[in-house]
C-alpha cells in the first residue's frame, strides 16, 4: 500500500511563506550575547536555549492607567524551567563546569532550586538545594525532585537557608549558585538587553518584584551596559516591589519573620541589599510594598484580562504599577517583569481564583445548556 500524502491548498502565489533558511534558530543567551558576557572559547556552554522570552503588550492594564501609557510584560515564565532563574543558571553552571566543579548548592524559595537542578544535572553535576520546609510551591518542588536534585528541607526560612549554604560552600567542595554568585547576575542582565533589542530603547519605567534583590541589580547592569555601547539613549527608573509582609526595603531594616503568600519573595534579609539600593538611587527609582490582596488582584487580572498566567510573586510588579499609576508620566513606556510561570503554583491559582468548576452535571445537552445559561 502506498502512503498518500495529505495535501492542502497550496499557498496563494502572492503570499510569501517562510523557508527554513528564514528561521534563525535561537542559540541560548550565552551564544547570543557572548561579547557582553564573561565567557571564553574554553567555557563549556551549558544551555537549555533559555532567554528570548516575549515582551507582550497588555492593553487592558495600559487602559487602567490611561494617558497614553503603554505597558508591556517581559514574560520570563516562558524560560525552560519556567522562571528567569534560567538566565542566571546557564552562566553560573557553565562557569562552575569550567572551574571543574562536581556539585553545586543553593538556598531557594523554589525557582532557583528548579533551575539549578536542571542545569547542574545537564552538566553532570550533583545539585543540592536547601529549601524552607512547607513554603515552596508544588510545581517547583516537583521540578527539583524530577530533575534529580538532592532536596533538603530545613526548619527555617529562606534567609536561614542562605546563611547555611554560604557556609557549606566555604567548607565543602560545592559551588554556590545563589545570586551572590556574580555569574548569576551576568546571565540575568540579558533580559534588559532583550527588552532594548525589541523596543529600540530602554522603557521609561521597569517594574520588578524584589525578593533576594539580585534581579533588579542584574537588569540595571544590563541597561547600563547597553547604554554604554550606544544601544539605547535613556535609562529606566527602576521600580522595585516587595510583598508588604516581606518588605525590608520599605521598613529600612531586615525582617526576621517575613510572611506573604507570594512564597517566591518571602525573604526578610536580601543578600543583594546594597546593589539593589544603588540601582534604585542611580535610576531615580523607588521601592514600594504591595499587599497580598493587591498581588492577587493583579494575578487574577493578568490571567483573566490579558491571558497571561504568572506566579503570585511575579504579579507584584503589575500590582505595584497599578498602585503607583498616578506617578507614571503620560505617554510613558513601562515594562513589568513577570519572573515566573503561573503553573509553578497551582494551589494558589485554585485557592484564589474567583472562578469555580461547575461539577456534578449529567452528560446531557439540555443539562449542559442550562448550566451555560442558554
Site residues, ligand F0G (CB under 6 A): 83, 85, 108-112, 179, 209-215, 264-265, 311, 313-314, 339-340
Q: Which three cell numbers stand for residue 190?
A: 540579558
Q: In whole angstroms, what is the distance from residue 188 CA to residue 304 CA?
A: 29
235 touches 92 (CB < 8 A): no
> Cβ 300 to ligand F0G, closest distance in Å?
17
> Cβ 366 to ligand F0G, closest distance in Å?
45
Question: In 223-235, which positions are buried (b, 16+ CB within 10 angstroms) versus exposed (e)?
Answer: bbbbbeeebbeeb
Give the nearer residue to ligand F0G in terms of CB position, either 69 or 268.
268
Burial status of residue 56 (CB atoms within 10 A of its CB: 0-12, 13-18, 19 or more):
middle
Give the nearer residue to ligand F0G in terms of CB position, either 232 or 348.
348
> Cβ 112 to ligand F0G, closest distance in Å?
4
**How many C-beta atoms lie closer than 10 Å to residue 254's C-beta?**
14
> Cβ 213 to ligand F0G, closest distance in Å?
5
Give the nearer residue to ligand F0G in terms of CB position, either 28 or 82.
82
> Cβ 318 to ligand F0G, closest distance in Å?
12
Q: DSSP letters along 179-219, please?
A: TTSHHHHHHHTHHHHHHHHHHSS--SEEEEE-SSS-HHHHH
- Residues, the chain: 374
> Cβ 74 to ligand F0G, closest distance in Å?
12
> Cβ 264 to ligand F0G, closest distance in Å?
3
Q: Which three cell numbers stand for residue 335?
A: 515594562
Give the nearer residue to ligand F0G in terms of CB position, either 69 or 244.
244
Q: In whole angstroms, what is the distance from residue 176 CA to residue 173 CA?
A: 10
Q: In whole angstroms, what is the distance from residue 34 CA to residue 47 CA?
A: 13
Residue 338, φ and ψ in degrees, nearest 5: -105, 100
> Cβ 312 to ligand F0G, closest distance in Å?
8
Q: Is 13 left (phi over 0), alpha (psi -120 to 50) or beta?
A: alpha
Q: In whole angstroms, what is the distance from residue 37 CA to residue 28 CA?
A: 13
Give the nearer residue to ligand F0G in terms of CB position, either 32 or 109.
109
Give the nearer residue to ligand F0G in terms of CB position, either 179 or 269.
179
> Cβ 156 to ligand F0G, closest distance in Å?
14
272 touches 240 (CB < 8 A): no
Give the nearer residue to ligand F0G in terms of CB position, either 108 or 190.
108
**How many C-beta atoms lie closer than 10 Å to residue 313's C-beta?**
33
Give the nearer residue to ligand F0G in terms of CB position, either 245 or 340.
340
Give the nearer residue to ligand F0G in terms of CB position, either 47 or 212.
212
Residue 131 host element (H or E)? strand 126-132
Q: Closest Cα to residue 203, out of 217, 191, 187?
A: 191
Amino acid at each position: 500500500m502506498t502512503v498518500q500524502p495529505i495535501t492542502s491548498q497550496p499557498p496563494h502565489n502572492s503570499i510569501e511563506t517562510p523557508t527554513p533558511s528564514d528561521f534563525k534558530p535561537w542559540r541560548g543567551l550565552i551564544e547570543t550575547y557572548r561579547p557582553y558576557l564573561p565567557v571564553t572559547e574554553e567555557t563549556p556552554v551549558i544551555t537549555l536555549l533559555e532567554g528570548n522570552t516575549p515582551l507582550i503588550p497588555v492593553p487592558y492594564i495600559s487602559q487602567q492607567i490611561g494617558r497614553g501609557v503603554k505597558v508591556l510584560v517581559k514574560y520570563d515564565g516562558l524560560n525552560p524551567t519556567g522562571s528567569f532563574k534560567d538566565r542566571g543558571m546557564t552562566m553560573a553552571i557553565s562557569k562552575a563546569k569550567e572551574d571543574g566543579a562536581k556539585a553545586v548548592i543553593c538556598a531557594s524559595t523554589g525557582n532557583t532550586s528548579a533551575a539549578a537542578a536542571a542545569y547542574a544535572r545537564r552538566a553532570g553535576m550533583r545539585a543540592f538545594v536547601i529549601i524552607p520546609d512547607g513554603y515552596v510551591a508544588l510545581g517547583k518542588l516537583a521540578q527539583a525532585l524530577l530533575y534529580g536534585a538532592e532536596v533538603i528541607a530545613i526548619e527555617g526560612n529562606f534567609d536561614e537557608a542562605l546563611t547555611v549554604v554560604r557556609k557549606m560552600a566555604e567548607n565543602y567542595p560545592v559551588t554556590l549558585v545563589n545570586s551572590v554568585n556574580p555569574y548569576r547576575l551576568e546571565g540575568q542582565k540579558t533580559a534588559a538587553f532583550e527588552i532594548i533589542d525589541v523596543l529600540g530603547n530602554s522603557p521609561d519605567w521597569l517594574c520588578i518584584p524584589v525578593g533576594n534583590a539580585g534581579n533588579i541589580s542584574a537588569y540595571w547592569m544590563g541597561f547600563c551596559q547597553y547604554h554604554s555601547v550606544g544601544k539605547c539613549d535613556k535609562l529606566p527608573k527602576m521600580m522595585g516591589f516587595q510583598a508588604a509582609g516581606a518588605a525590608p526595603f520599605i521598613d529600612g531594616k531586615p525582617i526576621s519573620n517575613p510572611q506573604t503568600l507570594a512564597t517566591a519573595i518571602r525573604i526578610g534579609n536580601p543578600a543583594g541589599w546594597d546593589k539593589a539600593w544603588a540601582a534604585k538611587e542611580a535610576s531615580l527609582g523607588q521601592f514600594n510594598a504591595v499587599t497580598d490582596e493587591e498581588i492577587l488582584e493583579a494575578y487574577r487580572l493578568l490571567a483573566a484580562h490579558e491571558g497571561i498566567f504568572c506566579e503570585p510573586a511575579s504579579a507584584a510588579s503589575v500590582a505595584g504599577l497599578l498602585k503607583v499609576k498616578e506617578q507614571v508620566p503620560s505617554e510613558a513606556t513601562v515594562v513589568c517583569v513577570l519572573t515566573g510561570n503561573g503553573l509553578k503554583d497551582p494551589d494558589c491559582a485554585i485557592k484564589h481564583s474567583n472562578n469555580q468548576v461547575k461539577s456534578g452535571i449529567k452528560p446531557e445537552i439540555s443539562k449542559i445548556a442550562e448550566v451555560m445559561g442558554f
